[in-house]
Structure 1
Amino acid sequence: MAPNLSQAIERIDAAHSEDPTKVDIDGEPTPYELIYAKKMSKFLELHTPNPDPLLATAARAQHFRRWEVPRDSYPRTKPGYFAWRTFLKKRQADQVRQLCLDCNYSEAEADKVAALVAKEDLKKGEGKGDADAQIIEDVACLVFLDDQFDEFEKGHDEEKIIGILQKTWVKMGKRGQDLALQMDLSDRAKELVGKALAG
């Protein structure tokens, strides 16, 4: 049987809708992770029109139930951050894999979606990674610039922000970089991106 993408998206969105963090959208309190997930789908469609169901599922399922494991549940150190991220990736991948199996995805298809959610098989250095994994990474970086950057930037000094932007740029493929340059960013974001790329 073919993957039931609509059912998978419905179940993923139902989980995102449980996020207790709300953002005001046109006067309506909306779960933040649902907003984030829809932006992932929007930028995926922009990046790769008519994506296949596995890509579409993985994009929508980024951050799956992430709020259930708060950052503060791990030490506020660099090793603590990486331990948190590693745990989250595996947890999210395992949960989404089971969700896919419940929606008629084959074992291989569910494994592929789980690998994309866990961001496995990304390129390392000059090596070639999985093309779909690179698309998900591009889309996540675009959503960061669109949705999170302006608020994030306020909490850090300029040098650190420029360093983060340079690392983000290197993570992206050519298609993602081209789309990033076309984005309608704030004047401050444009200024910092310009400095990062000139550095």
Structure 2
Amino acid sequence: MSRCAATLAAIDAANAADPDSREGQPAAQLYGQRMSSELSRLFPGASEILQIAARGQHIERWVLQRRDYEEGRSGYLKWRSDLARHHARRVGEIMREAGYCEEDAERAGHMLRKEGLKRDAEVQALEDVICFVFLKWYFAPFAGTQDPDKLERIVTKTARKMSPDGRARVLEEFDLPEHLASCFRA
């Protein structure tokens, strides 16, 4: 087994412990597989490190619960920041165990912490994949829980994080209501 395959398998094994199995398998494991699938479709020439970062995007996400942070935006942002650091640390540990060098592990961490968004092509590719996975598998159930104005703000923020090519593909691939589709045209 290649070190990349071993790393992906170890990420899946870690995510198999996710207690949320509402969709028939552990949620973090399913999310990682969806990330890999979309990465392969959108960026078929992705580097091994980007493939690993995509699979590990939500590694052990359940260990840091949103409810353990203060309410409101600042608590939400702190939770997200702590999650990104946790994902980067765990993926780095797994990569080093599989034989990757420190530089490769840190590169994956760089991507998982979203350092260089809009400036680093691989960080941007990861963000585009994250947005596609959200829109394809998680948007519809999420949208039903949100106030329409808040939902439009969330979609606008999502679109702003994407590359121009990513936004164009969203418009080609998803049948969004006009008020939400317009967020991807800016």
TM category (shorter chain) comes to: over 0.9
For the structure 1 residues 10 and 153, does the alpha-carbon distance in structure 2 shift closer, same or farther, using more than 3 Å as the test?
A: same
Structure 2 residue aligned with 1:53? 48
Alignment-mate amino acid for residue 167 of structure 2: Q
Structure 1 residue aligned with 2:154? 164
For the structure 1 residues 97 and 138, does the alpha-carbon distance in structure 2 shift closer, same or farther, using more than 3 Å as the test?
A: same
Superposed counterparts of 1:32-111, under 5 Å: 32-111=27-106
Please report how far the alpha carbon of residue 39 of structure 1 lies from its aligned counterpart in structure 2 after TM superposition: 1.0
Please report how far the alpha carbon of residue 7 of structure 1 lies from its aligned counterpart in structure 2 after TM superposition: 0.2
SS of 1:41's partner is helix
1:114 aligns with 2:114: no
Please report how far the alpha carbon of residue 50 of structure 1 lies from its aligned counterpart in structure 2 after TM superposition: 2.9
8 A contact 1:47–1:179 mirrored in 2: no
Say which of 159, 173, 181 aligns to 1:194.
Answer: 181
1:183 aligns with 2:178: no
Q: Tell me, which stretches of 5 or more residues in structure 1 are unaligned?
A: 124-128
The TM-score normalised by the length of structure 2 is 0.92
CA distance in structure 2 between the partners assigned to 1:23 and 1:57 by the alignment? 25
Number of aligned residue pairs: give it. 185
Q: Percent identity?
A: 31
Q: Which has the higher strand share?
A: 1
Summarize deviations over 1:74-105 as a string: whole Å, max 9, x none: 01211111111111111211111111111111
CA distance in structure 2 between the partners assigned to 1:131 and 1:152 by the alignment? 28
Between the two structures, name the one with larger relative contact order (CA 8 Å, sep ≥ 6): 1
Say which of 139, 142, 149 aligns to 2:132.
Answer: 142
CA distance in structure 2 between the partners assigned to 1:192 and 1:68 by the alignment? 36
Please report how far the alpha carbon of residue 111 of structure 1 lies from its aligned counterpart in structure 2 after TM superposition: 0.7
Structure 2 residue aligned with 1:126? none
8 A contact 2:124–2:162 mirrored in 1: yes
TM superposition outliers: structure 1 runs of 4+ over 6 Å:
none
Q: Tell me, which stretches of 5 or more residues in structure 2 are unaligned?
A: none
For the structure 1 residues 149 and 136, does the alpha-carbon distance in structure 2 shift closer, same or farther, using more than 3 Å as the test?
A: same
